[in-house]
């Protein structure tokens, strides 16, 4: 077996396109898939993606982005972008997340990503248990990124887009390791926050970051008291 075939054989199977194609054939018009990346991170944005794939297009191994290695995601991402009838991303920055809260920021990012699609889809499948309020019919599907091809495609686009953003932020904020952990709460990231304090793109309302800020405020207050 060739190396290319061995690599392909070990990749996960593509999620199903049956439901998406059924909806598209039932006079709903284009069916979009929507997912987001970065809700649980301590730094950086939440990125939502919306994707419409032609019914006749087949892209191998389109599945939940978490099941794919970075190089695999990037390769499939390029295929999705090349084959999509239309696609869109919306980046909700860290300060908007702090202002709105992560739940509302996620809904905003998904809604904006959908609204940017041209042509407007007739039906939207969204990963998770909640959908934004839109005039278009939306269906939220828990675990949808692993079950439905069109949501899986959106999950890959969202994840790769956000990873690229965090990699670009890495040299601007050295010492935090954004290129490695992408802003998530790894042990190395937690140590960096403790040693360096939060940087400009950390989400200050998230508990580990807020705790660090409060500890610094408490320390500064003690120093001020001692210096009186």
Residue 47 tokens read as: 């990125």
SS3 31: strand
In terms of residue numbers, what domain contains 223?
Answer: 178-227
Same domain, 149 and 184: no
Considering the domain architecture, whether residues 147 and 214 belong to the same structural domain is answered as: no
The band of 27, judged by pLDDT with boundaries at 50, 70 and 90, is confident
pLDDT at 152 over 70: yes
Domain total in the chain: 2
22 and 121 assigned to the same domain: yes
- Whole-prediction pTM: 0.91
In this predicted model, what pLDDT tens digit does every residue of 35-55 receive, in sequence order? Answer: 999 999 999 999 999 999 999
Among 169, 186, 213, which residue terminates a domain? 169
| pLDDT over threshold 90, residue 223 | no
Nearest one of 157, 205, 160 to 43, comparing CA atoms? 205
Whether 117 and 9 share a structural domain: yes
Tell me: do 182 and 202 sit in the same domain. Answer: yes
First CA to last CA across the chain, in angstroms? 77
Statement to judge: residues 217 and 157 lie in one domain: no
Could you read off the pLDDT of 166-214 as tens digits, one per residue? 999 999 999 999 999 999 999 999 999 999 999 999 999 999 899 998 8
8 Å CB contact between 27 and 117: no
Which band of pLDDT confidence, cut at 50, 70 and 90, is reported for residue 10? confident
Residues 157 and 221 in one domain: no
164 and 113 share a domain?
Answer: yes
């Amino acid at each position: 077996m060739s190396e290319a075939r061995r690599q392909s054989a070990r990749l996960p199977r593509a999620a199903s396109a049956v439901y998406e194609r059924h909806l598209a054939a039932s006079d709903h018009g284009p069916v979009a898939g929507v997912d987001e990346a970065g809700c649980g991170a301590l730094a950086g944005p939440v990125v939502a993606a919306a994707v419409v794939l032609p019914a006749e297009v087949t892209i191998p191994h389109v599945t939940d982005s978490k099941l794919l290695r970075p190089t695999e995601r990037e390769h499939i991402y390029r295929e999705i972008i090349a084959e999509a009838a239309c696609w869109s991303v919306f980046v909700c920055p860290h300060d908007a997340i702090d202002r709105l809260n992560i739940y509302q920021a996620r809904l905003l990012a998904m809604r904006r990503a959908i609204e940017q699609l041209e042509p407007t889809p007739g039906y939207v499948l969204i990963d998770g248990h909640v959908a934004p309020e839109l005039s278009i019919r939306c269906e939220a599907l828990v675990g949808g990124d692993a079950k439905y091809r069109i949501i899986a495609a959106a999950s890959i686009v969202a994840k790769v887009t956000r990873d690229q953003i965090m990699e670009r932020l890495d040299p601007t904020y050295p010492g935090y390791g954004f290129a490695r952990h992408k802003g998530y709460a790894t042990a190395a990231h937690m140590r960096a926050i403790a040693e360096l304090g939060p940087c400009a793109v950390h989400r200050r309302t998230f508990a580990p970051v807020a705790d660090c800020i409060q500890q610094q405020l408490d320390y500064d207050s003690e120093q001020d008291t001692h210096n009186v």
